[in-house]
Structure 1
Amino acid sequence: MQHDLLYHDYFDYYARVNPAGEFAVFKDESWTYGHAFERANRLANALLATGLGPGDRFAYLSKNSSDMVIAFIAASKAGLVLVPLNYRLAAAELAFVIDDCEAVLVLAQGDYCALLDEIRTEIPRVETFVAIGGQTDDWIDYDSFIEEQPTVPPSVDPVGDPPLYQMYTSGTTGRPKGAVIHQRSVMANLVQNRSSVETPGKRGMRVLICTPLYHAAGAIMVGGVIGIGASLVIHEDFDPHAVARSFAEDRIAGANFVPAMIQSLLVNVPDLADRNYPDLVQISYGASPIAEETLRRAMEIFDCEFYQSFGQTESTATLTMLNHSDHLAALNGRPEILRSCGRPVMGTHIRTVDEKGNPQDTGCVGELVASGPQLMAGYWNLPEATEATLRGEWLFTGDVGRVDEDGYVYLLDRKNDVIVSGGENVYPQEVENALYGHPAISEVSVVGVPDEKFGEAVLACVVLKAARTVEPDDLVSFCRDRLAGYKIPRKVAFLDELPRNATGKVLKNDLRAPYWEGRSRNVS
């Protein structure tokens, strides 16, 4: 039966033509494509043997690992839907996601089995619990689960455009929502990403994976590596010293980070600039804004191609790309480009709309909306939320920004993070960019807090560099020469660190909450 190219087809191809090629390195273990092919087939067959059928969901709770990568491939082979779980969630949050996605089988790293045992009564649909590593009562051992299964691919005929995985949003403004991502969207986004890269990846090159695989960026990065027959060097999670070491010892050619990871490398690895990175070809980053100073310093140290992507869970991963040539142009007379998140990737259109959803002229500030083949199918079991977010061919991103005459997209802020002070809109990122120019500031996040006169006032939450001090009034004065009066922070709070979620995004709700306790904040 003919079908569209599927996620596992790339993998199967390289397993056939290069079975001895390195597929993944994790801890002290290295797998070839041939070994991984057999393991993926065993898992796919094992899942189907439990009674799961096309479109059924199974959940996976683990830090990054070779077997978690195999789960994506097995889901594609079996026609099932993988639901990767955020291992940083509390028990109640995990219970919500597992119950909401209607998973009937859960695979979990041994370290998390006890946590799931606490919530078994809250996830009654789950019939099968499989433990990956560790001795756990009442759980099926993972190796036992797959070892007797055939090493040949399961006989499954895909129908139409099947879903591949269901990623849950970070839930920063309420309950997480399950974005259903279909095979066609994933394959389109892989092609879009590849077409945006100026130096193509090569078979056998090693790519570092330390962003979580339950996140859209991590999942699409894995697909990109498999799509060229390259090798994954997998870290369970991010550790700046381990990553810096891996660059040299593991001959890393490519890596993907969130900006907080790049900042951590610069701050926590004192000799980062003194090391050599002869194999490093490209670094991609995204998921949150990056300070220009941080980016310029990283480009100087690593001396490789840099790519910034902008997207969201609802767009599979990527909507725009700021490519390497753009980064070079920014260093050679066009610094404003670094404030953009690039131009739409192939086959994608982005524009702004006003509060009523009407298209705006080029350069106007409004909500960014996007169309393209990589958009999600919708939110799982949330028709009203789907209708509000997907309107016709357009994804309403919830981000405020503008598009210039050259097609560069400038992201200003999330709609609900915009500060309304005295009737004027203040975009926190603009204030943050100004403050990042101060030599004492390591990190900053700007939020709106209650103000009797203006409705909201600008609060700057500041993390200082080591051994640096500065008075709040000095920061206010610093901004006075760089910002309009209504944008200048009226309050400054000094923190040891900014609260972040697992993907590095600052939790602005956590920063605002103490100031808004007992009050309502209405920002449209």
Structure 2
Amino acid sequence: MRWRERTRWTLWSDAGARWGVRRSGFDSRFSLSHRADDESEAQPMIDSTTRNGTMRLHDFLDFQARERPEAAFIVQDRRCLSYRQAQAETHRLARALSAAGLGIGDRVAIVAKNGIEYILLYFAASRVGVVPAPLNYRLAPTEWAYMINDARARIVFAGRDYLPAIDDIRPQLDAVERFIALDGRASDWESYQQWVADQPARPLERFFSDDVDAFQLYTSGTTGRPKGAILTHRTVTACILQMALALDVEPGARHLMIVPLYHIFGVGWTYLCTYWGGCLVIRADFDPHAVIHALSEEHIGYAPLVPAMMQACLVTVADVADRRYDHLRMIIYGGSPIAESTLRQAHETFRCQFTQIYGMTEAAPLSLLLPSDHRRAFGERPDLLLSAGRAVVGTEVRIVDGDDRPLPHGALGEVVARGPQVMRGYWNRPEESTEALRGGWMHTGDAGTLDEEGYLYIRDRVKDIIVSGGEKISSRAVEEVLFQHPAIADAAVIGVPHPQWGETVKAIVVLKEGATATEAEIVEFCRGKLGGLQRPRSVEFVRGLPRNPSGKVLKRVLREPYWAGHERRVGGA
């Protein structure tokens, strides 16, 4: 029996602002404690190596480097670093950051695909209190320039594919002091390898509180300019503990790292894998065939995936259902809605456990649909396949109306939450921070319901709720029906203006290759599956849907031609 099964943990809070798991030796702001049934056998998975008693993110790496120094920690292609080697590299990199004059609160920007140096930079920055601002490499260079300037980044780290584009925007980057190429060589760029080569692999004595900023993660900017969400060391540590307490993960297993490291999903799973003493198997690019090969041939135990990746693997790889996935224990998915048909197909194909994470850049995780919930969903509770699960430990989730008043079970409103994993606020956006965190609750912008068992159902984005004749219609509910049509590959539903009803439902559809369907056929298909107001009144066929770099459909782009010249009435709670 593992230690985590013998131990009872207690989460606590102080006025709802300081949360943690207690343990002797930690200070009152974030401490870790346990009471084991057999005290003589208890072996804590994490302890603090800092003198002031607070836990910082590099402590996870240091613990594993002490306990399992020669175990593989990061693998990419033919390169492998053990925990001991990774720790030494992060000491060198931390010293290089310090020698460059960077310290607590200084920002560095990263524009690169997943890679070993990316992860090393995360842990090294933690050692000296430097704050990584990882940027989505799929964005336009002008958007990078905005975020780099917004963060006041002093160093830009970049992968070889992005050096020329960053060179083009250099004149706009007024705070950047150094440009460092993580791989490859280019004029006017310092080489990462040369930059750290002369630094000794000795620890730096840098002590600071766990309420110091750890990450500045930019939102996807679907409603305007991206905002930098500030996560502290305490915030991210809470996230890790919440996940670790909920999931039964085999220590030392191999974890596929294909979700991007600039995303909260990638950030969180990096530290979770470290917590479990696992091995991160890194992929720089998503290729469905390579992912399926990894899951079936490379002893991958755990695979964090976004739904679009899962669907692509199931649709693109011809023999996906014929392969064996003997080592695959769990697929962890989140980041966007998943079609019920996709989830059922994945369950039939991979025959492993599933966990859904619901959260956002500003606060993750908020809820989990655990393997036990999935077993119920694939059995006697099929409605749970549409659920985002129940609130994680130490977290409260509510549904509120437009005046932030709590709503009863089953009522549709905005999802709000509070807990230790919620961001400190938006970087240099005091008014937007106050609005998002008003009343001490993170306002997610998602419209949802809670049932009597505490299961959360995300029905839509608040701004995407369609109001027709005074009735609220979930665009996601209509999309779920459309995805059942055998000719439809992708679909989005929006509200378009109507002189009498205010809005009516319009479906925008992408057909499968070689398939045919008419507007009348699709409308008729929805009859009997949807109420009168829910049924699409019109259907538009397109080759593809506009999406942001994170894969989310840009419904504002779809709505724009229909609402031009109208005063948009945003539906919602």
Scaled to the shorter chain, the TM-score interval is over 0.9
- Which of residues 465, 469, 484 in structure 1 aligns to 2:531? 484
- Which of residues 90, 99, 102 in structure 2 aligns to 1:52? 102
Partner of 1:286: 334
Map Cα deviations across residues 316-362 of structure 1 (whole Å, 9 max, x no partner): x2100001111111111211111110000111110111101111222
User: For residues 271 and 411 of structure 2, what CA distance do their matches in structure 1 show?
Assistant: 36
- Letter of the 1:124 counterpart: D
Q: Give the drift of 1:201.
A: 2.6
Partner of 2:365: 318
Q: Give the drift of 1:391.
A: 1.9
Alignment of 1:48-127 (within 5 A): 48-127=98-177
- Which of residues 381, 391, 397 in structure 2 aligns to 1:334? 381
Partner of 1:262: 310
Q: What fraction of aligned residue pairs are identical, expressed as a percent?
A: 45
Conserved? CA contact 1:3–1:158, under 8 Å: no
Conserved? CA contact 2:210–2:232, under 8 Å: no
Partner of 1:12: 62
- Letter of the 2:505 counterpart: V
- Which of residues 24, 44, 53 in structure 2 aligns to 1:3? 53
- Letter of the 2:136 counterpart: N
User: For residues 518 and 48 of structure 1, what CA distance do their matches in structure 2 show?
Assistant: 55
User: For residues 451 and 66 of structure 1, what CA distance do their matches in structure 2 show?
Assistant: 53
SS at match of 1:46: helix
Partner of 1:208: 256
SS at match of 2:137: coil
- Which of residues 389, 404, 407 in structure 1 aligns to 2:451? 404
Q: Give the drift of 1:518.
A: 4.2
Q: 1:201 to 1:507 in 2, by over 3 A?
A: farther
- Letter of the 1:66 counterpart: I
Q: Which runs of 5+ in 1 are unaligned?
A: none
User: For residues 468 and 160 of structure 1, what CA distance do their matches in structure 2 show?
Assistant: 55
- Letter of the 1:211 counterpart: V
Conserved? CA contact 2:104–2:130, under 8 Å: yes
Report how many aligned residue pairs link the two structures. 521
SS at match of 2:454: coil
Alignment of 1:336-351 (within 5 A): 336-351=383-398
Map Cα deviations across residues 49-106 of structure 1 (whole Å, 9 max, x no partner): 1111211111111000011111111111111111001101111111110000111111
- Which of residues 315, 325, 333 in structure 2 aligns to 1:277? 325
Following TM superposition, where does structure 1 have runs of at least 4 consecutive aligned residues deviating by more than 6 angstroms? Answer: none
User: For residues 251 and 264 of structure 1, what CA distance do their matches in structure 2 show?
Assistant: 21
- Which of residues 207, 214, 233 in structure 1 aligns to 2:281? 233
SS at match of 2:127: helix
User: For residues 451 and 364 of structure 1, what CA distance do their matches in structure 2 show?
Assistant: 26
User: For residues 121 and 422 of structure 1, what CA distance do their matches in structure 2 show?
Assistant: 53
User: For residues 249 and 191 of structure 2, what CA distance do their matches in structure 1 show?
Assistant: 40
Q: Give the drift of 1:23.
A: 0.8
Partner of 2:484: 437
User: For residues 40 and 495 of structure 1, what CA distance do their matches in structure 2 show?
Assistant: 48
User: For residues 70 and 549 of structure 2, what CA distance do their matches in structure 1 show?
Assistant: 35
SS at match of 1:318: strand
Q: Give the drift of 1:392.
A: 3.4
User: For residues 423 and 81 of structure 2, what CA distance do their matches in structure 1 show?
Assistant: 32
149-158 or 163-172: bigger deviation: 149-158
User: For residues 464 and 397 of structure 2, what CA distance do their matches in structure 1 show?
Assistant: 21
Alignment of 1:301-316 (within 5 A): 301-315=349-363
Conserved? CA contact 2:446–2:461, under 8 Å: yes
User: For residues 565 and 91 of structure 2, what CA distance do their matches in structure 1 show?
Assistant: 55
User: For residues 204 and 491 of structure 2, what CA distance do their matches in structure 1 show?
Assistant: 51
User: For residues 256 and 496 of structure 1, what CA distance do their matches in structure 2 show?
Assistant: 29
Conserved? CA contact 2:210–2:233, under 8 Å: no
- Letter of the 2:391 counterpart: P
User: For residues 260 and 270 of structure 1, what CA distance do their matches in structure 2 show?
Assistant: 17
- Letter of the 1:39 counterpart: E
- Which of residues 262, 268, 271 in structure 2 aligns to 1:220? 268
User: For residues 353 and 472 of structure 1, what CA distance do their matches in structure 2 show?
Assistant: 37
User: For residues 53 and 496 of structure 2, what CA distance do their matches in structure 1 show?
Assistant: 54
CA RMSD of aligned residues (A): 1.3
Map Cα deviations across residues 237-275 of structure 1 (whole Å, 9 max, x no partner): 211011011112321111111111111011100100000
Partner of 1:29: 79
Conserved? CA contact 1:258–1:503, under 8 Å: no
User: For residues 188 and 64 of structure 1, what CA distance do their matches in structure 2 show?
Assistant: 24
User: For residues 112 and 366 of structure 2, what CA distance do their matches in structure 1 show?
Assistant: 28
User: For residues 495 and 322 of structure 1, what CA distance do their matches in structure 2 show?
Assistant: 33
- Which of residues 506, 514, 520 in structure 2 aligns to 1:459? 506
Map Cα deviations across residues 7-33 of structure 1 (whole Å, 9 max, x no partner): 111111111222211011112211111
SS at match of 1:166: strand
Q: Give the drift of 1:522.
A: 2.9
Conserved? CA contact 1:111–1:134, under 8 Å: no
Q: Give the drift of 1:434.
A: 1.8
With normalisation by structure 1, the TM-score equals 0.97
User: For residues 506 and 196 of structure 1, what CA distance do their matches in structure 2 show?
Assistant: 30
User: For residues 97 and 29 of structure 1, what CA distance do their matches in structure 2 show?
Assistant: 32
Q: 1:27 to 1:518 in 2, by over 3 A?
A: farther
Q: Give the drift of 1:470.
A: 1.6
Conserved? CA contact 1:327–1:337, under 8 Å: yes
SS at match of 1:392: helix
- Letter of the 2:340 counterpart: E
User: For residues 3 and 446 of structure 1, what CA distance do their matches in structure 2 show?
Assistant: 51
1:513 partnered with 2:563:
no
- Letter of the 1:207 counterpart: H
Q: Give the drift of 1:456.
A: 2.2
1:163 partnered with 2:213:
yes
Q: Which runs of 5+ in 2 are unaligned?
A: 1-50
Partner of 2:419: 372
Q: Give the drift of 1:160.
A: 4.8
1:362 partnered with 2:409:
yes
SS at match of 2:321: helix
SS at match of 2:299: coil
1:300 partnered with 2:348:
yes
- Which of residues 173, 194, 198 in structure 2 aligns to 1:148? 198
